[in-house]
Amino acid sequence: GSETIYRATTTAPVNIAVVKYWGKRDTKLNLPTNSSLSVTLSQADLRALTTASCSASYTGGDSLLLNGEDAEVTGARTQACFRELRARRAALEAADPSLPKLSAMPLRLVSENNFPTAAGLASSAAGFAALARAIADLYELPASPAELSLIARQGSGSACRSLFGGYVAWRMGDKADGSDSMADQVADASHWPEMRALILVVSAAKKGVSSTSGMQQTVETSGLFKERIASVVPRNMAIMEKAIAERDFAAFAEVTMRDSNSFHATCADTYPPIFYMNDVSRAAIRAVEQVNAKAGRTVAAYTFDAGPNAVIYYLEKDTAAVVGSFYHILGAVDGWKASTVQSLATTSAVI
């Protein structure tokens, strides 16, 4: 009857890019200026948990409760996801008139992250991946992770990579309608299960410049960015895919650090410049260099998104050298919170 509430719940993991997405060629469809590659983190540590429901008895239109607070659903990105998913449900309903008309009912989303939102920890990635999956499950859509990645991408670009576990590429594609700009699994987590990530929470505060406006400013004003798109990223993608295939940590680490540096250099090259890293971030970079020098080989790699927090990739066998040294070196640095999250880096469980 009209009181029936239809419901589906899902989780989606965080992913942290080792070759960064930075720049949109189409802001409406979230089409990127370059391909990117990330590692999906364990859902045991960092994830969005989302319930989607709909009912003819719901009044007041669509709604979203994010970490217990009312959030915007009228934004173009959220609307694009809702529209895509409703259209697919409406097609099923048209083909089978016995199905309940869920596509016409208001949607309620309730989502919770178990980590700070908008602190450069890719909360939007897990959030939009979970949103797309939860509504697809609610609507009983026969959607593959690749197809859902096309939808999640329209919510937040990096979200398309959170539909897969393990090592994930987002292929930029070249079609104007974005139908070939989707995620693709490069390797399952089981291919390189020793991978780990250490997250150094420098600040849990909301970031200063949103990724959307940071990207726009970079595309419009940075000369260095043109070089990054034309040659730096294509080279990094090729070396990274080979490093993953061969489980070559030294190569993986070098590309990860170089690509993070390149991304932050383009931000510093915008006018006016954008700085996501702070003094504590830079101390973390020096700490990684010390750890690697002390080990006599590359055991750790840093990367930073659009915020000051560091993510350090390392292999399980080097846990003592990496994690122990970090506490030791950074313990003396003012502003570094000991609130680190140690995370199994990869997950093979596809949400």
For 262, list phi and psi in degrees, rounded to 5.
-65, -45
One of 305, 310, 322, 346 touching ligand PMV (CB under 6 A): 305
17 binds ligand PMV (CB under 6 A): yes
- Does position 308 bind ligand PMV by CB under 6 A? no
Q: Per rule CB under 6 A, is residue 318 in the interface with ligand PMV?
A: no
Tell me if 158 contacts ligand PMV by CB under 6 A: yes
Strand pairing class (167-171; 24-26):
unpaired
Q: Give whichever of 139 and 167 is closer to ligand PMV, judged by the CB atom.
A: 167
Mention every residue, 6+ apart, whose C-beta is less than 8 A from residue 97: none
Determine if 21 is a binding residue for ligand PMV (CB under 6 A).
yes
Q: Is 46 in the site for ligand PMV (CB under 6 A)?
A: no
Looking at the Cβ atoms of 22 and 164, the one nearer to ligand PMV is: 22
Binding piece for ligand PMV, criterion CB under 6 A, among 63-71, 156-164, 181-189, 308-316:
156-164
Among 122, 197, 280, 329, binds ligand PMV (CB under 6 A): 122
Measured CA to CA, the distance from residue 341 to residue 325 in angstroms comes to 15
Which residue's CB is nearer to ligand PMV, number 102 or number 168? 168
CA–CA distance, 178 with 30 (Å, rounded to integer): 8
Q: How far apart are CA 214 and CA 220, in angstroms?
A: 10
Of 72, 23, 86, 19, the C-alpha closest to 257 is 19
Is residue 156 within the footprint of ligand PMV (CB under 6 A)?
yes
Of these, 36, 111, 260, 309, which contacts ligand PMV (CB under 6 A)?
A: 36
Can you read off the two tokens belonging to residue 237?
């993608």
Name the β-bridge partners of 340: 200
Angle at 224 between CA 218 and CA 226, to 5 degrees: 80
Which backbone phi and psi does 18 adopt, to 5 degrees?
-105, -20
CA Rg, the chain, in Å? Answer: 20
Asked if 259 touches ligand PMV (CB under 6 A), the answer is: no
- Choosing from 20, 25, 86, 264, the residue that interacts with ligand PMV (CB under 6 A) is 20
Q: Which of 35, 124, 266, 303 binds ligand PMV (CB under 6 A)?
A: 124
157 binds ligand PMV (CB under 6 A): yes
Q: Which residue from 43, 78, 117, 211 is in contact with ligand PMV, where contact means CB under 6 A?
A: 211
Residue 347 corresponds to which tokens in the numbers above?
């997950």
Q: Report residue 56 as tokens.
A: 């003819």
User: For the chain, how many residues are written?
Assistant: 351
Q: How far apart are CA 231 and CA 233, in angstroms?
A: 6
Q: How far is the CB of 162 from ligand PMV (least distance, A)?
A: 10
Residues within the interface to ligand PMV (CB under 6 A): 17, 20-22, 36, 122, 124-125, 156-158, 211, 305-306
